[in-house]
Structure 1
Amino acid sequence: MGKVPHVLVVPLPAQGHVMPLMSFAQRLVDHGVKVTFVNAEFIHKKLVSSLINHKEEKEDRRIHLVPITGESNINDDRTDEQIFYEFISENTQIHLEKLINTINESGNEKIDCVVADPYLGWTLEFTEKLGIKRAAFWNISLSALAFTLLVPKLLEEGVIDDKGYPMKEENIRLPPSMPAMSSVDFYWGFSDDIKLREILSKFLDKANKGAKAANWIVCNSWCELEPASNDFIPNILTIGPLLASEQLGHPTGQLLPEDSTCLTWLDQQPAQSVIYLAFGSTTIFNKSQFNELVHGLELVNRPFLWVVRSDFTDELSSLYTDSFKVRLAHYGKIVDWAPQQKVLAHPSIACFVTHCGWSSVVEGVSMGVPLLGWPYFSDHFHNQNYICDIWKVGLRLDKDENGVVTGTEINKKVQELLGNEGIRSRANKLKDVAKRTVSEGGSSSEHFKDFINWIKG
């Protein structure tokens, strides 16, 4: 029996990055590959807890979960945010290199390939020097990747400065079939916060370096979803939709405890009757916007399933939480976190009100669910352009002059969306395409085989 290929996987320590990479890691395992999955300490603890709670240790036995702890000790009092920034710094390289050397010296488990988030570009740069095969895993759209790889040229031509601020207003279009993006609306220009700008500019620089150091760029997208972007980017392997191809019950990489009682509740609802609302793991609403959303759900007057994290608004006291839940109890169900893939696959779901994060977009499109876009930051706005203008499987929620999406607007767009049979028809066609692409002979299936063969070669 030959050596089992061994892949080291390193995600950015955030829900939207860990989850698709864990799904990818599980598929590697299914193809006979051993995986060592490296996380920041606080993410590692949540991941291990999640796997234990769902009794999936057996399914993930060939994924070895390893934390990078740095110089921490038993009395470590660092916050999760501090650990995050320490992890993305190049200081972590020392500990990662030590881990690789330890594994390589242990016998027949030598690391054959490193798959890393491109925002941790230094990981791919230093493993290139070690002579290890390298792949960058891109967790958002190919289009967003194309614009990221354009950053050096935009800097050179004076379109943006080194912090990503536009120096002049200009519409940038790559292939003609890709949505144009104004220089004042680049997906990285979501905040005027100087600290965030500095962090983001570093991320963009690292992503470009990571992409250059990688043999392959692996993306959770598929050829038929973004054909223009796929042709535009060299050494790309589209292997998505990853989450749509998951057949295990609990989606691997989930960091928050799910309330599965919502599935039983959905069983009791009529087909295509429930409005599902979920805004990811980072979106925050102020109290005014929160109240308008509550009002909108009352106006819609349809059953709904709404995911409201405990930190969804920093003004959401326990008393207020009880108050709005009582107010809406007649209309629908509220949970802290939901098994989203199962929810979207449920026949009772009518539409998905989403922040347009790429993972949520991929899940919604893969399940054939019409989408109502409510972007929060970063690439969300660009993803919304795809939903509404290119694929035409959803509508936008527009803000008023005060920057608020009103309850009246919510009601209007929900009714318009649910009454549009063209949108539902196009959504179902995209679902069929997504299913074919990961089936035997599909483009993503073939790309994944190519990747496995490359690792083993």
Structure 2
Amino acid sequence: MEKVPHVLVVSLPAQGHVMPLMEFSHQLVEYGVKVTFVNAEFIHQKLVFTLLDHKEDQKDRRIHLVSFSDELDLNDDRTDSQKYVDFMSRDMEVHLEKLIKKINESGNEKIDCVVADPNLGWGLEFTEKLGIKRAAFWPASLGFLAFMLHVPKLVEAGDIDDKGYPLKEEVIRLPHSMPAMSNTDLLCSDGRSDDNTIREMLLQYIQNVNKGAKVANWILCNSFRELEPASCDFIPNILSIGPLLASEQLGHPTGHLLPEDSTCITWLDQQPVQSVVYFAFGSTTTFNQSQFNELVHGLELVNRPFLWVVRPGLTDELSPLNSDSFKDTIAYHGKIVSWAPQRKVLAHPSIACFVTHCGWNSTVDGVSMGVPLLCWPYLADQFHNRNYICDIWKVGLRLDKDENGIITRSEIKTKVQKLLGDEGIRSRANNFKDMGKRSVSEGGLSSNNFKDFINWIKF
């Protein structure tokens, strides 16, 4: 009997990292691979909760969910990403090594390969010492990976210091056709009050990513060649296997950490074709009260059907949603949910455009569904993704802030109208949709890359 390959998948404990790795894991299972999926306990519990409605997956023993205690006190803030960075750097390697040793000594299908988020670069380093095959799964754009791998050279050249602060302003451009980025933007989060904390975390991730990329046999990514051809050529040992849409197509859960509200699909069924503006800002974006108020008034001014994801923590005060005028707006042509089945939403014929924070998962979702994008980035790689969307692919527009750093209601109205009136943007978006489908279809480059990876694991 042929041995079933066994892959250990290790995720950074955050929505945008867990979700694509769960997608990837489901695809491994379809090729007959057993997967052990490892995460921090707090994220693990959320993931298990969202799987309760998918009993067929609970019966599928080829994906085994395993957790490590995050070792935080009961009163610790588990939304504090820095605590997780500290935990992963200090303790998680020990837990992971014990787990691999336990599995391998049990005789129950030894680990053939470890696939880890390169932000956990140490995990790939010690896997190399154990003599196990290893691959990095990069959850963001290849273009941003190229920038992260380039940061040590910027430090060496004296363009930024070892704390991430620019010593001189300079436009960074790697291969031609990749969007340029100022080194003052590279490690910032758009003037937020916690910029310094974000900067320090990004530098830690950059160090880990450089370690992980150096020792990985392969770097897998949720992208396809037509999206980022220059980056595919620039980074060695890349295997583009996206867009990762298999879980949705096969009816598997997609790794969301919040329960999805599917009533919005029924609501979309009642709306005209290409009439609805979809607003969703990911799992980490937060708005101050002034910005949230402008967004609420902007939805009123747009004066067309909208679906808005208002997740817990998006803002501190939701009272603007209870005004009489906004209640009337909702009653007439709006729908608010706390979390949405995003792929199903974007694939729905009633969707006209997507107002997005430009996280890579949302960017790939939008591009793969042929939906025009209106860009409202919040931190880190999201600004880089916006540059791709607007300047390279030309499938969306920017929302610009005023002199007070606010995206105004009139700016929201104007840009929605401009985006929906631009047939060139929609045409280019549909072209990328077709290219993505071809890439993951039988004989497509992403499909062939995935098969090559499976064969590499087996042999």
Distance in 2 between the 1:308 and 1:212 partners? Answer: 40
Distance in 2 between the 1:127 and 1:21 partners? Answer: 18
SS for the counterpart of 1:305 is: strand
Q: Which 5+ residue runs of structure 2 have no aligned equivalent?
A: none
- Say whether the 8 Å CA contact 2:27–2:246 is kept in structure 1: no
1:216 maps to 218
The amino acid that maps onto 2:11 is P
SS for the counterpart of 2:37 is: strand
1:114 maps to 114
1:367 maps to 369
Distance in 1 between the 2:100 and 2:380 partners? Answer: 33
Report the Cα offset of residue 195 of structure 1.
3.0
Residues 59 and 157 (structure 1 numbering): CA distance in 2 closer, same or farther, change over 3 Å?
farther
Kindly indicate whether residue 36 of structure 2 is the aligned counterpart of residue 63 of structure 1: no
Kindly indicate whether residue 48 of structure 2 is the aligned counterpart of residue 48 of structure 1: yes
1:205 maps to 207
- Say whether the 8 Å CA contact 1:90–1:122 is kept in structure 2: no
1:341 maps to 343
Report the Cα offset of residue 60 of structure 1.
4.5
Q: How far does the alpha carbon of each residue in 1:314-360 deviate from its partner, in whole angstroms, 9 at most, with x for none? A: 233xx554447624322310111100000000000000000000000
- Say whether the 8 Å CA contact 1:10–1:117 is kept in structure 2: yes
Residues 59 and 276 (structure 1 numbering): CA distance in 2 closer, same or farther, change over 3 Å?
farther
Q: How does 1:265-344 map to 2 (within 5 A)?
A: 265-316=267-318, 319-323=319-323, 326-329=327-330, 330-344=332-346
Q: How does 1:122-137 map to 2 (within 5 A)?
A: 122-137=122-137
The amino acid that maps onto 1:6 is H
1:255 maps to 257
Report the Cα offset of residue 163 of structure 1.
1.7
Report the Cα offset of residue 78 of structure 1.
4.2
1:238 maps to 240
1:91 maps to 91
The amino acid that maps onto 2:186 is F
TM-score by length of structure 1 reads: 0.95
Report the Cα offset of residue 3 of structure 1.
1.1
Kindly indicate whether residue 435 of structure 2 is the aligned counterpart of residue 433 of structure 1: yes
Q: How far does the alpha carbon of each residue in 1:384-404 deviate from its partner, in whole angstroms, 9 at most, with x for none? A: 111111111111111111111
Distance in 1 between the 2:322 and 2:102 partners? Answer: 52
- Say whether the 8 Å CA contact 2:44–2:66 is kept in structure 1: yes
Report the Cα offset of residue 40 of structure 1.
0.3
1:409 maps to 411
Distance in 1 between the 2:356 and 2:307 partners? Answer: 12
Distance in 1 between the 2:182 and 2:77 partners? Answer: 37
Distance in 2 between the 1:140 and 1:59 partners? Answer: 31
- Say whether the 8 Å CA contact 1:35–1:64 is kept in structure 2: yes
1:3 maps to 3
Point out 4+ residue stretches in structure 1 off by more than 6 angstroms.
none
The amino acid that maps onto 2:172 is I
Q: How far does the alpha carbon of each residue in 1:165-192 deviate from its partner, in whole angstroms, 9 at most, with x for none? A: 1111111111111111111121556556
1:193 maps to 195
RMSD (Å), alpha carbons: 1.8
Kindly indicate whether residue 391 of structure 2 is the aligned counterpart of residue 389 of structure 1: yes
Report the Cα offset of residue 61 of structure 1.
3.2
Residues 243 and 251 (structure 1 numbering): CA distance in 2 closer, same or farther, change over 3 Å?
farther
- Say whether the 8 Å CA contact 1:245–1:438 is kept in structure 2: no
Report the Cα offset of residue 85 of structure 1.
3.6
1:378 maps to 380
The amino acid that maps onto 1:328 is T
Report the Cα offset of residue 363 of structure 1.
0.2
Residues 423 and 251 (structure 1 numbering): CA distance in 2 closer, same or farther, change over 3 Å?
farther
Report the Cα offset of residue 84 of structure 1.
2.5
Residues 60 and 297 (structure 1 numbering): CA distance in 2 closer, same or farther, change over 3 Å?
farther
Report the Cα offset of residue 54 of structure 1.
3.5
Q: How far does the alpha carbon of each residue in 1:87-111 deviate from its partner, in whole angstroms, 9 at most, with x for none? A: 4223111111111000001114110
Distance in 2 between the 1:46 and 1:310 partners? Answer: 14
Report the Cα offset of residue 249 of structure 1.
3.3
2:25 maps to 25
Kindly indicate whether residue 449 of structure 2 is the aligned counterpart of residue 447 of structure 1: yes
SS for the counterpart of 2:55 is: coil
Distance in 1 between the 2:215 and 2:258 partners? Answer: 33
Q: How far does the alpha carbon of each residue in 1:192-226 deviate from its partner, in whole angstroms, 9 at most, with x for none? A: 63333222211110111011111111111111110
- Say whether the 8 Å CA contact 1:294–1:328 is kept in structure 2: no
Residues 118 and 295 (structure 1 numbering): CA distance in 2 closer, same or farther, change over 3 Å?
same
1:169 maps to 169
SS for the counterpart of 1:144 is: helix
Distance in 2 between the 1:265 and 1:143 partners? Answer: 37
Distance in 1 between the 2:437 and 2:75 partners? Answer: 46
Residues 420 and 25 (structure 1 numbering): CA distance in 2 closer, same or farther, change over 3 Å?
same
Residues 348 and 420 (structure 1 numbering): CA distance in 2 closer, same or farther, change over 3 Å?
same
Distance in 2 between the 1:60 and 1:188 partners? Answer: 42
Q: How far does the alpha carbon of each residue in 1:292-322 deviate from its partner, in whole angstroms, 9 at most, with x for none? A: 1111111111000000112110233xx5544
Q: How does 1:132-143 map to 2 (within 5 A)?
A: 132-143=132-143
Residues 420 and 245 (structure 1 numbering): CA distance in 2 closer, same or farther, change over 3 Å?
farther
Report the Cα offset of residue 159 of structure 1.
1.0
Q: How many residue pairs get matched? A: 453
Distance in 1 between the 2:149 and 2:6 partners? Answer: 29
- Say whether the 8 Å CA contact 1:238–1:444 is kept in structure 2: yes
